A and B are shown apart, each in its own frame.
Chain A
Amino acid sequence: MSSPVQGAVGPTTGQSNAGVNPAAAPTRRGTELLLLGFAAIVVSAALMLVEANQEQQLTFRIFWYGLAFLGLFGIAHVAVRRFAPYADPLILPCVALLNGLGLVMIYRIDLAMTEVALRAGKQINNDVPRQILWTTVALGLFLAVLVVVKDHRTLTKYHYTFGLVGLVLLALPALLPSAIAPTINGAKIWLKVGPFSLQPGEFSKILLLVFFAAFLVAKRDLFMAAGRRVLGIDLPRARDLGPVVFAWACSLGVLVFQKDLGTSLLFFGTILVMLYVATERGIWVGLGLTLFVGGAVVAYKLFTHVQQRVANWFDPLATYAQAGGGYQIAQALFGLGTGGVGGTGLGAGRPELVPLANTDFIAAAIGEELGFIGLAALLMVYTVLALRGMRSALAVRDTFGKLLGGGLSFLLIMQVFVVVGGVTKLIPMTGITAPFLSYGGSSLLANYVLVAILLRISDAARRPQTGSRPRPVPQAPIAEAHTVMVERPT
């Protein structure tokens, strides 16, 4: 694609909705509502199984919970209907299903932890009320993003601001004293404000992504220019390496100062992919991977905690008894193995034996109780969610939207890959949350913002195009090409 940069970020006069015939393109909001209802039924059934297996009383209140869940996402649905009527109909139901199953799982682990605490004669605070609160807040934020960002292209106007704020948020926990930014589970990525703790890094991921998308679109031609040709490969010019080196440095900074392997990996991988999409040159991926491998080797040589992670990855059973050893991953594997193909049944397993079962290791809890089948189904929901995002990126007409949509979709899958891969011993465990599933406010809020932006982009992609440009956009895929005649505004 080679449409001029100005075309993407320039005046939007041609994109106004004046004169659209609503019947011309189906909004598919009915499908969305139907699927949301389906998600509500699945989540209610899951809750019912947990209650039955945990010997709680089966009462009619599950029905009310299901209805409340449907009501909450009904509001989101109405907001989408009002503010992004052409948005993809699958994205919100996927999110609702993941979020709902996450809540059920967190509740289920709460029950187990309460039992453990009771036996030890202690009291613990349940996580699920807080997660419900966070879900409500996140849906509010989701709504706010849909209302405020009427057109995703307006985001480009503030991209330097986003970049700066993102960077500050990323660096904040490392710079602040431990009183405000405590080290939790070995990572210094938290901010504690009163009773709330936040992971600013979750938000900076999205802010930096927006910045990079806009930046790359603006400077795209620069990266396209070839530098020297070595062994048949067009090397980029040295001075154009700036962004990739910057991203690399940021990732390394996160790794070294905050000991947060997961965020570092996510950050770097996503920016690399965006660079590739923007320039259409695989050399960036090669270069980035080289830098990553180099950085990883150096980090391995320098830091004992990285060495420990790798040792735990190779054989968690061998380092089982060591301090900081493979105990956690081994427990996750025991859980997954005990679950087998069909799982122990929701509420009938022992997911509480895995430390951090309701955050980083929630995939192990699901694999134990719902088995391989449940885990695979979960991964499929993520895949559908991300591919719908990717589809919107393909269909949207502006380069910024493409880049941002592609980046956000990839970020989603990358998170799933890093955390599920870590839990199932595919890659070293790096400790990030599973989007929408895990307990944790920051992750939930950030991922809802991500989805709001994706919905906004998909709305732009499917909205019937009208305006001054009569020629059909050449890069629109056949599936998304509208067969209706577009009327010239009068």
Chain B
Amino acid sequence: MNTPLRRVGLAMLGMIILLLANATYIQIIKADDYRNDPRNKRVLLEEYARERGKIVTPDKNNQVKVLATVQQTNDRLRYLRVYNEAPMYAPVTGFYSVRYGAGGLERAEDEILNGSDDRLFVRRLSDLITGRDPRGGNIQLTINPAAQAAAYNAMDKAGFAGSVVALNPKTGEILTMVSTPSYDPNTLSAHDTEAQAAAWKTYNDDKRKPMLNRAISETYAPGSTFKLVIGAAALTDGKNKDTQLTSTDKLVVGGSELRNYNRGYCNGTPDGVTMEVALSLSCNTSFAQLAGDLGSQKVTDQAAKFGIGEDDLTVPMPVEQSCLGPSSSCLNVPDKAALMQSGIGQRDVRLTPLQNAQIVATIANGGERMKPQLVRSILAPDLSEISGFDADSLGRAMSRDSASQLRDMMVTSESKTGGDGKRDGLTIASKTGTAETGNDPKNTPPFAWYVAFAPADNPKIAVAVVVESKDVAATGGKLSAAIGRATMTAYLDGGG
């Protein structure tokens, strides 16, 4: 009877070996699949069990204004993410949802906020020893609440879809990042998953795309604001603001007519105009001809120096690439006709509002381009600073002299631009733009642009405003200038 007993013993060993082999397969080979399955709540619960860090921005009295924080709850997620002044700051903070993950800054700085970043390691270790719950680090932003509120309220009150981006030209700090229409991230971080799903569906079904951060994720034809780039290229090429440009009433470009906005001669004369007058009156023929004369090399070089074509910029959210040509060849203008049309910011030219803000900020900063940054500092859970702000130069886009000539032209341009919000004693340098869109541009509402900086002699804020207007007759001057001016004056008044 011992032989069959031994065989049964072997069979028992065989069964255990089968179990071990299968456990190896499940826990080692397939482990990652199971661990990362979206239905596996363990990883997320682990993250939620930690107190997520705050997103704050300094107030005008250098007090901290809390944009995103957590509330203790009685459910098993322990902490509820709460956003203050949510729609106004939604493009800045992003969202944090159990069901849909994170977006915006919540995603870009997730490791700091959830406490898993290496820089927080020493503190995690001490938390472990002292037995305190591990907590996430905090993010302090560069946003100026006064300018953010002025820009958002102006856009929101008028019901505009669009974006306002303001930069500190000297440091690259992002002072304003507004995108309208906006959304309420509180609805996405709610712990009631049904409510989350409903909000998610509402926002995603909305044709106005409230969750799209237009400031960095959407590109628009820049229209006449692009004449600043052409102007910079011309100045770099040795021309100056008094250089004579054509004032003709029409150019035939690639089989179609290119006309001025008033459909007549620039400045009412066929005898030519100076670059300063052409820019201030925004004459299309003058700048199309100028772009064509400069040639595609000089234009694309200048554009690249301003940051167009850059595809790896993060603020720390990734910024959509701005392009001159079609998306397949971002910095390539196919022919002279395309170059001339590009010269007035049409054809395939597409800029993000942040890119356009960078261009004016660079002019304001005497030609040196600063890297736009949204994060001023990273703070440990106990609010001690882990890393501070370092202004980061991305190189010189134009000479100091060219920049000041361009600034003077923009001051003249501002004096010829209408709209509300002008203030005595404040010199603004600006350029408007009204970019045609769609296949039937004459009957499609244009994008209304206003890019500016102030004060002109000592620039403290540079701003780009774009409004996806609903009115076919809209112009940058009418719609956007007032919003841009309101943003700048709010900032300058706020002691920024």
The residue from A115, A341, A417 contacting B27, defined by CB atoms under 8 A apart: A341
CB–CB A390/B42 < 8 A:
no
Chain B CB within 8 A of A253 CB? no
CB A412 to nearest CB in B, in angstroms, measures 9
Interface mask (B27-58 → A, CB under 8 Å = 1, otherwise 0): 11011111101011111011000000000000
Q: In chain B, what residue has the closest Cβ to A405?
A: B5
> A341 to B28, Cβ gap below 8 A?
yes
Quick check: which of B14-22, B141-149, B416-424 contacts chain A, the rest being far away? B14-22
Assess the B131–A55 pair: CB atoms within 8 A. Answer: yes
- Evaluate contact between B22 and A334: CB separation under 8 angstroms: no
Binary contact track B370-414/A, C-beta < 8 Å → 1, others 0: 000000000000000000000000000000000000000000000
| Distance A426 CA – B33 CA, assembled complex (angstroms) | 17
* A337 with B40: CB separation less than 8 A: yes
B24 part of interface (Cβ distance < 8 Å): yes
- Asked if residues B35 and A334 are in contact (CB atoms below 8 Å), the reply is yes
For A378-415 the 0/1 string (1 means CB < 8 A from B) is 01101100110010011000010011001001100110
Per-residue interface assignment for chain A, residues 226 to 262, with 1 indicating a CB less than 8 Å from any chain B CB and 0 otherwise: 0000000000000000000000000000000000000
The answer to whether A334 and B42 touch across the interface, beta carbons within 8 angstroms, is yes
Contact status A336-B5, CB under 8 Å: no
**Can you list, as one digit per residue, whether each of A98-138 has a CB less than 8 Å from chain B (1) or not (0)?**
00000000000000000110111100000000000000000
Q: Which of A280, A338, A386, A420 contacts B19 (CB 8 A)?
A: A420
Q: Is the CB of A410 within 8 A of B6?
A: no
User: Bound state CA distance, A17 and B65, in angstroms?
Assistant: 88
Cβ-defined contact, B30 with A337, below 8 A: yes
CB pair A337 B1 closer than 8 Å: no
The answer to whether B32 and A337 touch across the interface, beta carbons within 8 angstroms, is yes
Number of A-B contacts (CB under 8 A): 147
Band of interface residues on B: 35 or more
Q: Is the CB of A379 within 8 A of B20?
A: yes
Determine if B74 is an interface residue (Cβ-Cβ < 8 Å): yes
Which B residues have a C-beta under 8 Å from some C-beta of A? Answer: 1-6, 8-9, 11-13, 15-16, 18-20, 22-24, 26-28, 30-35, 37, 39-43, 45-46, 74-76, 131
Q: Could you say which of B22, B39, B75, B131 contacts A119, with CB atoms under 8 Å apart?
A: B75
In the bound complex, how far is the Cα of B4 from the Cα of A390, in angstroms? 11
B-chain residues with CB within 8 Å of residue A349 when the two chains form the complex: 42
With both chains docked as a complex, state the minimum distance between the C-beta of A480 and any C-beta of chain B, in angstroms: 11
Q: Is the interface of B mostly helix, strand, loop or mixed?
A: helix
Rank and list the top 10 A-B pairs by shortest CB-CB distance, nearest first.
A337-B34, A334-B40, A372-B27, A1-B1, A426-B22, A337-B31, A413-B12, A417-B15, A277-B4, A390-B9
A353 within 8 A of B: yes
Number of interface residues, chain A, beta carbon within 8 A? 59
Whole-angstrom CA separation of A399 from B16 in the bound complex: 26
Q: Are A121 and B2 in contact (CB under 8 A)?
A: no
Provide 23 A-B residue pairs closer than 8 Å at the C-beta atoms, listed in order of the A residue: A55-B131, A119-B75, A277-B5, A277-B8, A330-B37, A336-B23, A338-B31, A338-B40, A340-B28, A350-B42, A353-B41, A367-B23, A371-B27, A376-B20, A379-B16, A387-B9, A387-B12, A409-B9, A413-B12, A413-B16, A414-B15, A417-B16, A421-B19
> From residue A133, how far is it (CB to closest CB) to chain B in Å?
30
With A371-B27, A394-B2, A394-B6: A350-B45 Cβ-Cβ less than 8 Å = yes
A320 within 8 Å of B (CB atoms): yes
Most central of B4, B40, B131 by chain A CB within 10 Å: B4
B1 with A426: CB separation less than 8 A: no
Known contacts A340-B31, A371-B27; 15 further A-B pairs (Cβ under 8 A)? A115-B76, A120-B75, A278-B1, A336-B27, A336-B34, A339-B31, A340-B28, A376-B20, A406-B5, A410-B8, A416-B15, A416-B16, A416-B19, A417-B18, A426-B22
User: Using Cβ atoms and an 8 Å threshold, which residues of chain B touch A338?
Assistant: 31, 34-35, 40, 42-43
Q: Does A335 interact with chain B (Cβ within 8 Å)? A: yes
The answer, among B4, B27, B39, B45, for a CB contact under 8 Å with A330, is B39
Is the CB–CB distance between B22 and A424 below 8 Å?
yes
In whole angstroms, how far apart are the Cα atoms of A399 and B33 in the complex?
50
**A477 close to B (CB within 8 Å):** yes
Taking CB atoms, residues of chain A closer than 8 Å to B3 are: 280
Contact of A276 among B4, B9, B28, B40 (CB under 8 A): B4
Q: Cβ of B28: which chain A residues have Cβ within 8 Å of it? A: 340-341, 372
Q: Are A417 and B35 in contact (CB under 8 A)?
A: no
| A421 and B18 form a contact (CB under 8 A) | yes
Other-chain contact of A475, B1, B13, B18, B30 (Cβ < 8 Å): B1
Q: Give the residues in chain B near A341, CB-CB below 8 Å.
A: 27-28, 31
Point out the residues of chain A lying under 8 angstroms from B19, CB to CB.
Answer: 379, 416-417, 420-421, 424, 426
Tell me if A273 counts as interface (CB < 8 A to partner B).
yes
Question: Given the complex, which residues of B lie within 8 Å of A406, measured CB to CB?
Answer: 5, 8
Judge if A189 is at the interface, Cβ distance under 8 Å: no
Q: Which of A334, A403, A410 has the most CB of B within 10 A?
A: A334
> Is the beta-carbon distance between A382 and B5 smaller than 8 angstroms?
no
> What residues on B are CB-neighbors of A409 within 8 Å?
9, 12
| A116-B8 in contact (CB<8A) | no
Assembled-state Cα–Cα distance A404/B76 (Å):
50
